[in-house]
Amino acid sequence: MDNQGQKMLESAQSIINKTARKLGYKPSIVDRLIEPEMIHEFTFRVRMDNGEVKLFKGWRIQHNNALGPYKGGIRFHPDTTREEVQALATLMTIKCSVAGLPYGGAKGGVIVDPKKLSETELERLSKRYAEKIAPFIGEDVDVPAPDVNTNPKIMSWMNDEYQKIIGKKSPAAFTGKPFDQGGSLGRTEATGRGGVIVLKSLISKLNSQFSILNFQSNPKSQLSNKKNENLNIENSLKISNFKLKIPQHPTIAVQGFGNVGYYFAKIAHDERFKIVAVSDSKGGVYVKEGLSPEKTLECKKEKGSVAGCYCKGSVCDVRYGKPVSNEALLELPVDVLVPAALENVINEKNMDKIQAKVIVEMANGPITEEAYEYLVKKGVVIVPDVLANSGGVTVSYLEWVQGKQRYWWSEEEVNKKLEEMILKAFEIIWNSSVKKKIPLKQAAFEVAVERIVKAL
């Protein structure tokens, strides 16, 4: 992971550097966009159930607060490194800017395998970490949230400890809390839901664009009928960087069946998209006719993994599909590929085997720089992680707003606001991509960097 974290950091810094220089910013501005403003590194002691005291190392890295308070999750993982946390903090600055949120970027991490701790040990560790970061966080300074291996319960422990230290209630100091402790409805599904909202809008744009290009190349085609008379060819921005037609109900493969991957699959399935493959860390299944994400999750809970869960409709039966490895899932002949698990899974080893027309990056950094360049040249449309998985931080922002005003919305209201905000973000990035004839990722970073520099 040391190497992976370093690679991720170098990749994040490289794209920001290239973007800022292309936009003509001075080296001093580029440095401010790349270097973190604060790196808090510390060790802390936690008493185990057997009386032993163990030392743990943790970080809170605050990258940039030009747009507002720092914002970012806290991960508990045995392979966490400073470089990884810094890379993620850097990308949070970009993600919040892309999403149009009044936040900067931060990230936290602890080197620990939470699966090896009892619940009481995990609670003590969470509270000790909160004690360490308490002096430099707060609802208007830095607002932590859950990330890998942390959850609403852990956020509630941290928030309790933080409130004890500052001596008052602060329902907006942490987000991702349980609803009865100041959390927001709709937060659990938010990241997956946001990804589906972006995918639906993308398909609509691509198909509209394909129709316009087809009309331009063949004015006598059926597109000249009355239904299409209102197509304003002159104002179509004459783009040529997107020439794809995607079925209205595309086939989708999802790598990763945790919170993000499951809710993406479930909500996409509810929208009548065809989920043909899903996988977790132990492997996956491929059901050509389409599988049921809900039944697959039930089956996974029984079996401990999705392997063998060939769930079509309300029945799980081996006749419906076949096993597929995580690696093979990425290479399936699908319309849309959704890497929702680990970073760098699409790389120089498998990039030439990718068959999907569209990739939606629900994981952070699932495509290496080399593979990204190759796939873009090949004509694959890639929705970057800083946009695709921004639904989570967007609803975290809505939770923060609710906590500050001490007034909580219904789930329907939260989902509606999420859709409005993420569609607005997508529209701006799409238009920039179209106008400049550049990929969505480049457009997203340019939009983000321009906003941050303007705030600086």
Per-domain residue ranges for the chain? 2-183, 189-388
Position 362 scores a pLDDT of: 97
Tell me which residue of 391, 387, 389 sits closest to 440, measured CA to CA.
Answer: 387
244 — pLDDT class (breaks 50, 70, 90): confident
Percentage, residues of the chain above pLDDT 70: 92
Q: Do residues 405 and 412 make contact, with C-beta atoms less than 8 angstroms apart?
A: no
**Residue 315 in tokens:** 């029945």
Q: Do residues 257 and 303 make contact, with C-beta atoms less than 8 angstroms apart?
A: no
Q: Class assignment of domain 189-388?
A: alpha beta
Q: Is the pLDDT of residue 236 over 50?
A: no
Q: Is the pLDDT of residue 223 over 80?
A: no
- Reported as a single tens digit per residue, the pLDDT across 401-429 is 999 999 999 999 999 999 999 999 999 99
Query: Degrees (nearest 5) of the Cα angle 328, 333, 339?
Result: 55
- Reported as a single tens digit per residue, the pLDDT across 27-48 is 999 999 999 999 999 999 999 9
CA atoms within 13 A on the CB side of 436: 17
Give burial (CB, 10 Å; 0-12/13-18/19+) of 413.
middle
107 a catalytic residue: yes
Catalytic hit among 7, 95, 107, 205: 107
CB atoms within 10 A of CB 239: 17
Percentage, residues of the chain above pLDDT 90: 84
CATH superfamily label, 2-183: Leucine Dehydrogenase, chain A, domain 1 (3.40.50.10860)
Position 239 scores a pLDDT of: 42
Position 426 scores a pLDDT of: 98
| Alpha carbon distance 108, 121 (integer Å) | 19
- Mean confidence (pLDDT) of the chain: 92
Do the domains spanning 2-183 and 189-388 agree at the CATH topology level?
yes
Characterize 271-300 residue by residue with b for buried, 16 or more Cβ atoms within 10 angstroms of its Cβ, and e for exposed: eebbbbbbbbeebbbbbeebbbbebbbebb
Mean pLDDT for the stretch of residues 122-136: 98
